[in-house]
């Protein structure tokens, strides 16, 4: 699952990041709580909240179906999260995405294509569309085994049913 292709399908290239795989939520049991589709972005975040995300720093490998993808996450000054899509050799593959803390909101993108955090804890961050009904929700959820789950959720539309996708993101070192 590629953040740029999935999570940032909303226009935000969220990098969702070896034996990682996409799974149906039923296989994961209670390890990844469901998204809160009705949530709205919070405007109450501080740099201390962003600092809770240090667990996501590093390079990760995930699968979009059977196709691997690679990403690197970095927290800057406890006010930004930079997400870089990588090639298999570790070099950059396109432009990076940047989630920034501004006026208490932590998010990325513009207008109808903006996603912002509704909740940040020591174990997960929940993003929702900044404009209700415009885009998908996604959550990055830390696991006790050193991996994390990227859960994406799209609402039903006129031509598609509601759907979810989970990728297991595993630590990765470029060749």
- pLDDT tens track for 87-130: 999 999 999 999 999 999 999 999 889 999 999 999 999 999 99
- pLDDT tens track for 60-91: 999 988 999 999 999 999 999 999 999 999 99
Query: How much is the pTM?
Result: 0.78
DSSP, collapsed to helix, strand or coil, labels residue 86 as strand
DSSP, collapsed to helix, strand or coil, labels residue 49 as helix
Domain locations in the chain? 7-171
* CB-CB contact of 115 with 128 (8 Å): yes
The answer to whether domain 7-171 has CATH 3.40.228.10 is no
Report the C-alpha gap between 162 and 146 in whole angstroms.
30
53 contact partners, CB below 8 Å, separation of at least 6:
75, 81, 120, 125
The percent of residues in the chain predicted with pLDDT above 90, rounded, is 67
């Amino acid at each position: 699952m590629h953040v740029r292709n999935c999570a940032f399908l909303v226009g935000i290239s969220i990098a969702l990041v070896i034996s990682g795989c996409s799974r149906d939520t039923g296989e994961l049991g209670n390890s990844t709580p469901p998204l809160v589709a009705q949530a709205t972005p919070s405007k109450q975040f501080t740099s201390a909240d962003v600092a809770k995300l240090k667990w996501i720093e590093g390079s990760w490998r995930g699968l979009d179906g059977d196709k691997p993808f690679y990403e690197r996450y970095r927290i800057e000054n406890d006010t930004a999260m930079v997400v870089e899509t990588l090639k298999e050799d570790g070099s950059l593959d396109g432009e990076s995405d940047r989630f920034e803390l501004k006026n208490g909101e932590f998010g990325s993108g513009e207008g109808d294509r903006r996603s912002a955090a509704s909740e940040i804890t020591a174990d997960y961050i929940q993003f929702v569309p900044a404009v209700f009904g415009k885009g998908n929700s996604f959550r990055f959820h830390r696991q006790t085994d050193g991996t994390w789950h990227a859960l994406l959720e799209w609402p039903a539309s006129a031509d598609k049913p509601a759907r979810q996708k989970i990728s297991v993101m595993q630590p990765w070192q470029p060749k």
